[in-house]
Amino acid sequence: MNLGMALVAWLVFPGLLYALPAGWLMSWVERKTAARLQQRIGPPFFQPFFDFVKLTAKTAPARPGLEGVLMSFWPAAAVVGLLGALALLPVFPYAGGQAPGFAGDLILLVALLELPSIGMVLAGFSSRSLFGEIGAVREAVLSVFYNLAFFIAMVALALDAHTLQLADLAVAPFSPGRALALLAILLCLPAKLHLNPFSLANAEQEIYAGPLTEYGGPQLALWELAHSLEWVALTGLLASLGLPRSGSWAIDGLAFVMVSLLLVLLLAGIATGTARLKIAQALRFYARWGVAVALAALLAAGFFPGGV
């Protein structure tokens, strides 16, 4: 690991300085795409940033004792975890025989990516709100099913390339197992990003904002920031593992950004064109199709590995 480049990955690209504006941009693209598909004008370009600033200037409801500490801790932990995950993404090729960013493996990346979901479940229960608890239960149940497909797909990627190191995974040869694993991950993204048809945990027409119903002010601003960073991290995961490497840092970085934005357009279009599923329908989808594609990737990686 090159320490200087690792700090650049965390603080600059694809970390903090890139991720903050990119997250707000992706949130705007999602909302603007939905608006245009519904023949509405949609929000102005800077609206996600304005919303964040407005929330940070508001005063959050007072929460005494441990409840207030926990409600502030969960969104902060989600933001920190996502920034760590972004620093691990293998965007660039090796430099001088060393990984250009932090020397992380797939297990650490998955753990960091799961922090927002775990934090949201715990936040719903910490708020002592009926709507928050209902949303937390929905998020917990749904996450078990989509994460089963997500974890199997990650194992298939590692088996296909015979490594857990992210830098090695990024440059492994393309194969049927790798393609199916990336497809399984793509199927999990709408649920991980709380988009239709899997926006069950935060169904505003039913349970207001679900786990975040009791949140406001800077705490809610951190959750909105975490959601924006999730867009960057999850689309970046597919972009960094699905793109071939050119050897040029400029080309690889530009391709990473462009593919991430194309994925935002795709997911926003799907979300706009679909209605919210019932909890049983959503679970059945991932139990059947998500796990089936992930298992197919695992079998393909075992019989037709790309890393040998």
Residue 268 has pLDDT above 80, yes or no: yes
- Residue 165's DSSP bridge partners are 105
pLDDT band at 97 (very low <50, low <70, confident <90, very high): very low
Tokens 């050119």 map to which residue?
246
Q: How much is the pLDDT for 96?
A: 44
Task: Give Cβ neighbours of residue 112 (< 8 Å, ≥ 6 apart).
Answer: 81, 82, 84, 85, 88
Which of 286, 114, 75 lies closest to 200 in space, CA to CA? 286
Helix then strand then coil, in percent of the chain rounded to 5, is 70, 0, 25
Q: How much is the pLDDT for 94?
A: 57
User: 204 or 265: whose pLDDT is higher?
Assistant: 265
Residue 101 has pLDDT above 60, yes or no: no
**Is this model's pTM higher than 0.85 or not?**
yes
As a whole number of angstroms, the distance between CA 102 and CA 98 comes to 10
pLDDT band at 102 (very low <50, low <70, confident <90, very high): low
Residue 95 has pLDDT above 80, yes or no: no
